Structure 1
Amino acid sequence: MLRRELLKTGAFCVAFSLASKNRQAFAKSATPADAGNAAFSPNAFIQVLPDGQVRLTIPNVEMGQGIYTSEAAILAEEMDLGLDQVIVDHAPASPERYTMPLQATQLTGGSTSIRGSWDVLRSAGATARLMLINAAASRWSVRPDSCEAKRGVITHIESGRSLDYAMLVDDAQRQSVPDVVPLKDHRRFTIIGKPWQRTDTRDKVLGATRFGIDAQPPGHKCAAVIINPVWHARPRLQNAPLPAGAHEIVALDDCLAVIADDFWTASEVARTLSVEWDYGRCTPFDTAQLRKAMNHAASNAEALTARHDASWSGRTPAESAEYEFPALAHAALEPMNATVACRKDELEIWIGTQAPGRVLDAAHRLTGFPKERIQVHNHYLGGGFGRRVETDQVEQAIRIAMKVDYPVKVIWSRATDIRRDLPRPPFLDRISAALDDDGFPIEWTDHITGCSIFTRFAPQFMREDGVDPDTVDGADNLPYSIPSVHVRWTPFDMPDERPIGWWRGVGPTHNLFRVECFLDELADHAGIDPYLYRARLLQHSPRLLKVLHLAAEKADWHRPLDQGFGRGIAVGKAYESYVCAVVEVDATSTSEIRLTRCVCAVDCGVVINPNTIVAQIEGGLIFGWTAALWGELTYAAGAVEQSNFHDYRLMRMNEVPSIAVHLVESDEHPSGVGELGTAIASPALANAVFNATGFRCRRLPLVPAIAEHVQSNSGGLKQRLDNLVSSFTRQGGEP
């Protein structure tokens, strides 16, 4: 809903700028004239409706992380409302009004939603509450400080007179916007910090929630896409009769779209078609060649310096290791889809996207239509994980829609979703350390080789020294007290110039694994307990030290384990949050290694809704363990070999261990949690496997690494690991 339309409702609106450097830069939306004033071009709105409910339109998208509930709670707290009195709406695509402060565009990702909206939503809610109190006090001719607000009702304390917010809409419109607004003391919070049920739970349980794939504009048809898994392959046009059941077949330069009345029919028709392909522009390669190319780049290509401490002198290392990380798919449960209606001079899009502004820009570029003639209807997302910040699939849908005269819903099959993914790129990391007499690092050298996402996606975020900050996140900002650190990055491109993309956890997912596993190796080399080893190095990082101690205490770290059981620990800072995970595994069986327990301690500043944070950490851990155990895209002749969940494995319910999440009480600014569990999951698991079996994993995923280790070992350990691999294979793993 546009601002002018909001004003027609007669509601009291408070506009606030998310991108403003002045966190209390508010504007009263009193007249249509205000809406045209550039100084009042807001990025979000609070609207008090005539029925007393408050509508919050926010730029963040909901993709399972519970952001709508948390942001509604922040607003309700400062406006003295009940959480049930706040309605949250998807924001329209309008980067000019809805740019997120930590993203510099209208985009949800990077665990930035609460970090970016905390101050703004609190100030906006407090401003609205104060203006409503002032309106009531003016009507009663009393002092504002003699009134109080509770659940949307303002009461004059002495006389007991009361008015609800809806009755004060007109009066509030005439109030001046206060320059300074006091915020609630944390000790007075009645909503923030409480375990509220999510506001979208009921609709999801009843099947009423609308995702992008549920869009059904009148007269629409469905398209199944035939696209080659080899990048740059082109279909050769064929003059063949239209198959039965198909409405038409649309040919683009890189794919064919079979259009029918429903997706099943379109898919079945697509299966029957035999398509010839032109591979003239393709670069065939396989996984072995990819690994060889990365190794060559790491050894020969120019490396950029990400961090160089003046005291670093390149001492001979006492310990060194090399870690490999594969390309990973996103594999969201809702496959990529978009519905588009292209009319004479306007475009309408129904989609679930993390980046509505990027969709708007892409549509404008492809069609040439003015942006005001392009409407993007955003929906709930059935999983994002960074995949839905991209616009490749919706661009394809727009190109198809431009060739037909009806709305068309384009859905990718699961195979297309995986094989045409913009994957998390592979990395090759070499790390070493010189040690003091006690076995602690005095020089730390780290060399990362891998693709840059920012170079393509947002080059303005590249550092002045040419370093991609994401590739070194968690490597050049170590929390440990190490006197001398030297970190380099060697850029690498996929052989076929295939675009790579963000993946849940981004840079810390590979950097924390390498750092935490190598630190475990150093502790083992020194003969020191890995928990105590970390504690010694974290004396100058009190928040990280606190979660380390908390997780160790709750996990009963020093409790002896029986033979064949293992316990691993990992700690890290990411997204301005602090986390420690302790994982326990059972390797006593000859047929499997089983995750039995995980204890996680988290300091994410002020806790908005503990239920949401616990759920995010649990989900993130499972996402990370899945990738650590089985996640890998392999290549043959330039094509991804995986196609569905039978060969791109997910962790199953019966494989998930008990998980206990402990939250640190804090008054610090809220920080990110959506990707925190994913980043810490794999190193804690790998360290536990080492503790149980003596096998140190330096190449993910774990199951193929175990298989490779088995081939070069013999004896009892070989037999046990052989059985382990057999067990994982029976459960769907690919050794």
Structure 2
Amino acid sequence: MRAEWFKGAAEAAAVNVSSRRGFLKAGAAATGGLVLGFVLPGGSRLARAADAKPVVYAPNAFVRVAPDNTVTVIVNRLEFGQGVHTALPMVIADELDADWAQVRSELAPAADVYKDPVFGMQITGGSGTIAHSFTQYREVGARARAMLVAAAAQQWQVDPSQCRTEKGVVIGPGGRKATYGSLADAAAKMPVPETVVLKDQKAFRYVGKPMARLDARAKSTGRQQFGLDVKPAGTKVAVVAHPPVFGAKVAKFDAAKAKAIRGVVDVLEIPVDRGGRGIAVIADGYWPAKQGRDALAIEWDTSAVEKVDSAKQMAQFIALAKTPGAVARQADTSKLAGAAKKISAVYEFPYLAHAPMEPINCTVDLKDDSCTLWVGSQYQTGDQAAAAATAGLKPEQVTLHTVMAGGGFGRRAVPSSDFVVEAVNIAKAWKAAGHQGPVKMIWSREDDIKGGYYRPSHVHRADIGLDAQGNIVAWDHAIVGQSIMAGTPFEAFMVKNGVDGTMIEGMGEPYAIPLNLTAHTAKANVPVLWWRSVGSTHTAFVMETLIDEAAHAAGQDPVAYRKKLIDPKHARHHAALDLAVAKSGYGKARLPKGHVHGVAVHESFNTVIAYVVEASMKDGAPKLHKVTAGVHCNLAVNPLTIEAQIQGAALMGLGTTLPGAAITLKDGVVEQQNFGDYVVPRMNEMPQIDVHIVPSQDAPTGMGEPGLPPLAPAFANAVFKLTGKRLRKLPFDLASA
């Protein structure tokens, strides 16, 4: 399934794109120079069916060449640690023949021109940034270069074919030279070429090379501005007392003690997500706002909402998994009863919080006829529309400034735009109470862990039959969990035959197995959302531990068994697995005493990751020492970014195995609140990670999410070798294995 849900999302969005490629050029307003942007014809079926004239957007610019020779690339995504603030500028700079020392980058505001050319909306997700915008940004760079060359040729009265470019300079006959900055104004007046010839990849100067990040110095020196740092003049800070149970109301409250705290300006009741009500405390700064919230006396009405209990829910899911669900994939399971060997397993997965290092925040300046937002948004198109609807304005009256964010993992792309809507509702109440000026809503870590959106809880039930030779002859499988698409604009496209496509992605392939797959969609009063790598967070664990178990039951080497089962058409799986095996020394290297290897391979978002891990038991607990990664993401735009993505994703995957890495509910209340009781991996748990990339010249695929899913199963497979126990739960629970 991979990223198909976004394609459905594109159809659900109000896409306003051209049916053919159009371009706009304009002179830079204040500094002069060349501003070049363009509109691609959108990848959705709706966009392809359109037959409208090219739409001109403002400021619709992707690259800005200034008189001082700096080249600023406008990044149409959110940068929140994944490296697109560097990778996309690399792509334009290569085709533009820019001097990398002069390249800068900025995050784009919400605007139609910045919509993902495949999704048809401005969004950062589905590991789609490089995969979808690689050609888009190459063409922008090539057209800008052609316009600069045309300007120089006109100035010198020569044919453009007599000119060439190199590191921000146009070079003409007789060695004449002109910098891009000196040509920028004239280039802005040149016609935009309808077609351009892109570079041969062999001529790339930057793409494919390890390039240091443009934002590295600012972040490492503390100068980088994040959403929490935004503070327009006169800004007040708001914190919200959310209901303890999702969707609960305020029965009554007393704000007297809160208002008595120095710095508290007002206390206002507001609507919050899922039909609930909350109390916003607005103050001169975060600390008085928090103190004011702590001083509130609130009685909550939870009578009308379901109160989920995790233990009871898991028991219900397990019972439901024993019955057939809606059919997702059919296969003959008649050979199961007479199989020579059988594997029966039930897997349990808890809710998970996103827990980014920078908690949720959004600054809003609401006026009678306009609304300005500063927010680290993964979903600018939806958030802008939701803000407009909440404020009673048109989308064009809402200016959304995309600001750098400190992590997200999906939490900043919510179909309901929950935290953006909440921030605008605070601004509305603030304005209605007679106040004016911007209000910055800040969630604490506790607010987000106790009241955010979660990766759904799931149960898998598998019954597998093998013949005497170890071949899988039947596999009957059921999955139970909440749908992340139900109730969203994407439901019509992503829920088929009652099955949420994100729930089953990663099941079956690349293995040639007779898999009969059904799914049950459960309902619960717990908000759920995609979480880094979406369905593969649980399906990869199930598939790769069961394939490993089948290999051992067959008496065969787990790597050889996988390679035998992987369909030959999945050559990238073979290549990634072979690379990881070769670089790790699997089956050949002599490991330290008590150390073993574990293996897993999985594809998500069109990228294949194979891990060979080295692990041991230390003080009765599994210890991960080393991870060797084989990565097949086609063309590696920035190998340093890919290495960092694998390191971060593998560590996050390790986090899912640690005791305490679970969100649980009792009487409808989330029991965890911070990193003291919601476990994340610490520095001393970071293994050595060696990243190896399969060489390829094919169009790049995604890297933000694929590094996470295979880590936990590879580790679990190593633990089996160490203990003889098959782990059926995340986080790991050796006691129940």
Letter in 2 for 1:452: S
Mapped pair 1:304 → 2:326: yes
Q: 8 Å contact 1:19–1:100 — kept in the other structure? A: no
Counterparts in 2 of 1:178 and 1:373: CA distance versus 1, 3 Å: closer
Q: CA deviation at 1:49?
A: 1.9
Deviations 1:686-725 (A, max 9, x none): 11111111121111111xx22334xxxxxxxxxxxxxxxx
Letter in 1 for 2:531: W
Give percent identity, aligned residues only: 36
Q: CA deviation at 1:568?
A: 0.6
2-structure distance, mates of 1:347, 1:535: 56
The residue aligned with 2:558 is 530
2-structure distance, mates of 1:3, 1:407: 34
Give the TM-score normalised by structure 2: 0.89
Q: 76, 80, 87: which is aligned to 2:104?
A: 87
2-structure distance, mates of 1:270, 1:5: 50
The residue aligned with 1:653 is 683
Summarize the alignment of residues 402-417 of structure 1 with structure 2, pairs less than 5 Å apart.
Answer: 402-404=428-430, 405=435, 406-417=437-448
Q: CA deviation at 1:173?
A: 3.5
Deviates more, 1:530-539 or 1:235-244: 235-244
**What SS class does the counterpart of residue 547 from structure 1 fall into?**
helix
Q: 506, 509, 514: which is aligned to 2:537?
A: 509
The residue aligned with 1:606 is 635
Q: 109, 120, 125: which is aligned to 2:136?
A: 120
The residue aligned with 1:520 is 548
Q: 596, 599, 607: which is aligned to 1:569?
A: 599
Task: State the superposition RMSD in angstroms.
Answer: 2.3
1-structure distance, mates of 2:146, 2:649: 39
The residue aligned with 1:70 is 87
Q: 8 Å contact 2:25–2:35 — kept in the other structure? A: no
Deviations 1:546-591 (A, max 9, x none): 111111111111135466322210001111111100111121x435
**What SS class does the counterpart of residue 461 from structure 1 fall into?**
helix
Summarize the alignment of residues 238-257 of structure 1 with structure 2, pairs less than 5 Å apart.
Answer: 238-241=253-256, 242-245=259-262, 246-253=264-271, 254-257=277-280
Q: 8 Å contact 1:524–1:530 — kept in the other structure? A: yes
2-structure distance, mates of 1:179, 1:554: 46
The residue aligned with 2:286 is 263
Q: 8 Å contact 2:245–2:669 — kept in the other structure? A: yes
Q: CA deviation at 1:433?
A: 2.7
Summarize the alignment of residues 568-717 of structure 1 with structure 2, pairs less than 5 Å apart.
Answer: 568-587=598-617, 589-630=618-659, 631-702=661-732, 705-709=733-737
Q: 8 Å contact 1:45–1:58 — kept in the other structure? A: yes
Letter in 2 for 1:251: E
The residue aligned with 1:423 is 454
Q: 8 Å contact 2:540–2:713 — kept in the other structure? A: yes
Letter in 1 for 2:441: V
Deviations 1:104-138 (A, max 9, x none): 31110111100010111111211221232233233
Deviations 1:340-366 (A, max 9, x none): 122222212221111122211111111
Q: 423, 430, 441: which is aligned to 1:397?
A: 423
Q: CA deviation at 1:37?
A: 7.8
Counterparts in 2 of 1:239 and 1:551: CA distance versus 1, 3 Å: closer
In structure 1, stretches of 5+ residues that fail to align are: 26-35, 710-735
Q: CA deviation at 1:174?
A: 4.1
Q: CA deviation at 1:18?
A: 4.1
Q: CA deviation at 1:65?
A: 0.4
1-structure distance, mates of 2:492, 2:57: 24
The residue aligned with 1:227 is 242
Q: 8 Å contact 1:454–1:461 — kept in the other structure? A: no
2-structure distance, mates of 1:432, 1:51: 67
1-structure distance, mates of 2:567, 2:370: 60
Q: CA deviation at 1:218?
A: 1.2
Summarize the alignment of residues 181-580 of structure 1 with structure 2, pairs less than 5 Å apart.
Answer: 181-241=196-256, 242-245=259-262, 246-253=264-271, 254-300=277-323, 303-309=325-331, 313=334, 315-316=336-337, 318-390=342-414, 391-404=417-430, 405=435, 406-457=437-488, 458-462=490-494, 464-476=496-508, 478-482=509-513, 484-494=514-524, 496=525, 498-538=526-566, 540=568, 541-558=570-587, 559-561=589-591, 564-580=594-610
Deviates more, 1:450-459 or 1:385-394: 450-459
Q: 8 Å contact 2:95–2:198 — kept in the other structure? A: yes
**What SS class does the counterpart of residue 578 from structure 2 fall into?**
helix
Q: CA deviation at 1:262?
A: 1.2
Counterparts in 2 of 1:61 and 1:641: CA distance versus 1, 3 Å: same
Letter in 2 for 1:403: A
Q: 148, 156, 162: which is aligned to 1:132?
A: 148
**What SS class does the counterpart of residue 192 from structure 1 fall into?**
coil
Q: 8 Å contact 2:322–2:461 — kept in the other structure? A: no
Q: CA deviation at 1:417?
A: 0.9
2-structure distance, mates of 1:104, 1:356: 12
Q: 8 Å contact 1:446–1:475 — kept in the other structure? A: no
**What SS class does the counterpart of residue 407 from structure 2 fall into?**
coil
Q: 8 Å contact 1:18–1:98 — kept in the other structure? A: no
In structure 2, stretches of 5+ residues that fail to align are: 1-23, 272-276
Counterparts in 2 of 1:568 and 1:395: CA distance versus 1, 3 Å: same
2-structure distance, mates of 1:537, 1:20: 38
**What SS class does the counterpart of residue 275 from structure 1 fall into?**
strand
2-structure distance, mates of 1:238, 1:466: 42
**What SS class does the counterpart of residue 502 from structure 2 fall into?**
coil
Letter in 2 for 1:86: V
The residue aligned with 2:18 is none
Counterparts in 2 of 1:501 and 1:651: CA distance versus 1, 3 Å: same
Q: CA deviation at 1:102?
A: 3.5
Count of residues paired in the alignment: 685
Q: 8 Å contact 1:339–1:351 — kept in the other structure? A: yes
**What SS class does the counterpart of residue 594 from structure 1 fall into?**
strand
2-structure distance, mates of 1:657, 1:466: 41
